[in-house]
Structure 1
Amino acid sequence: MTPDDIRRRLSHAAVSPRSQGCASDARAAAVLVAIEPARGVWLTRRSAHLLHHAGQVALPGGSVDPSDASPEAAALREAWEEIGLDPAQVELIGRLDDFATGTGFHITPITALIHGEPRFVAAPGEVAAIFPLGLDALLDPALPEWRRGTWHGGTRDFPVWPHPDHVIWGATAWILLRLATALRQG
C-alpha cells in the first residue's frame, strides 16, 4: 500500500472527535497511530514494572496535558518522549473515532505517516520494546482473531491481533481494528 493510498483511505475515515458515552471524569488521552508503509504501524510494549498497564502493547501516547494545544500535539509529544520519534518525520493525516476505555481514559487516535527511516529510542523504564505490526495483518479480512473473556462479571468478545512476539489486545487492538476497517475500504 502506497503512502497516497494510506492518505486517501485515512482522510476519508477521519472524523471529528466523538464521545462514546465517556464519563465526565474520564482522562483525555491521545495516541499516535504512526504508519511506516514499508514496515507497518509502530507499537510499544510497556515496561513490566509500570503501575498502569504494565507489559501491555500500546500505541505511543498518553494523557493530554494542559500545555498541549491539541490531541495531535499530545500524541506527537508522547511519541517523542516514549520512542524518540522526531515530529519532523511525521505527517499528520487525521483522527479515528475516539475510544473510551474501561480504565477511565478517553483516547483520541491520531493517524500519521512516518517519512524517512526513523531511529527509535525507547524511553528507559517506560518502554520495553518498539516493534511494527505489518500492514498485511491489518489488511487481512480474516484478522483480528476474536477471543472471549470475563470482565466485570460479564462475558465479552474482544479482538487480538496476531504477532509472533507480542499479544495485542485491549484498547490498542480496538483502535487497530478501526484502522484496519478504514484501510480496507477504498
Structure 2
Amino acid sequence: MPFLIDRLRRGLAEAGKPRLSGDHGFAQGVVASERAVPAAVLVPVIQRPAPTLLLTQRTAHLRSHPGQVAFPGGRVDRDDLDVVAAALREAEEEVGLARGLVDVIGLSDPYLTGTGYAVTPVVGLVPSDVRLLPNREEVADLFEVPLDFALDPANHVLREAEWQGRQRQFYVITWQDRTIWGATAGMLVNLAARL
C-alpha cells in the first residue's frame, strides 16, 4: 500500500499536462472553460492493505447524470472556501464521510464536462474503518474498486457513441458488474497519467 500511495502523492505534486483536459477533447460544441460552472469531486482512496477507490452509483431520479457511477461531489457553492472545501462538503452530504477523516494529498487535473462543469478532483486518503451513511436521495449504492485496477491503463477502454447528434469518444473502465465512464473515467485516466 505505501508504495502506490507514495507514487500518488509524488504524481499529484508534479506539474504536468493532463492526458485529457475534458469532454471537449472528444466532442464539438461543449461549453467553453471560462463559462463552465466550478465543481469539485472527492477521489476517496480507502487505506486498505491494497488501497481502493470509493465510488457512488447515483440514484435513477436525479436530474443530472442519473444512475451513473461517480465520485462524491458537485458544484462549488458561494460559501465554500475553495474546491477542497466543496469536495469535502459534498462527500459529507452524499456519503456521510466526515471532513475531518479525509487526509487531502493533492489535486488532480481539472476536467471540463460536456454538461458545462469544470471539475477539480481532490484526492484524499480515508481510513479503512470509516463508517459511511449514503444520502438515499442522491446515492443508490456505494462500492469500492481496487486502486491499482482503476489506474491501470490496460483497463481504460476508449469507446465511441452518438451524443446530441455527433459522434463522441469516451473512456470506460469496467469493474465486475460496474461501468465507470465519461468524466469519472476521464479523471481516472488523468490520474493514472500522473503516475
Relative to the length of structure 2, the TM-score reads: 0.83
Say yes or no: does 1:179 pair with 2:191: yes
Q: Which amino acid aligns with 1:6?
A: L
Report the equivalent of 1:9: 11
Distance 1:116 1:131 in 2: 13
Aligned to 2:38: 28
The Cα offsets for residues 98-119 of structure 1, whole Å up to 9 and x where unpaired, read as 1111111111111111134211
Specify the alignment match of 2:59 in structure 1: 47
Number of positions where the alignment pairs a residue of Structure 1 with one of Structure 2: 180
1:107 to 102, 111, 119: 119
Q: Distance in 2 between matches of 1:26 and 1:140?
A: 30
Contact 1:14 1:96 in 2 (8 A): no
Identity %: 44
> 2:54 is paired with a residue of what secondary structure?
strand
Amino acid at match of 1:12: E
Choose from 63, 74, 90 the match for 2:102. 90
Aligned-residue RMSD, C-alpha? 2.1
Q: 1:118 pairs with 120, 130, 149, which one?
A: 130
CA shift for structure 1 position 140: 2.6
Q: Which runs of 5+ in 2 are unaligned?
A: 23-30
Judged with a 3 Å threshold, the aligned counterparts in structure 2 of structure 1 residues 179 and 23 are, in CA distance, closer, same or farther, namely: closer
Could you tell me which runs of 5 or more consecutive residues in structure 1 were left unpaired when the two chains were aligned.
none
Report if aligned partners of 2:151, 2:191 keep a CA contact under 8 Å in 1.
no
- Aligned mates of 2:95, 2:36 — CA distance in 1: 25
**1:130 and 1:92, CA in 2 relative to 1: closer, same or farther beyond 3 A?**
same
What's the counterpart of residue 27 of structure 2? Answer: none
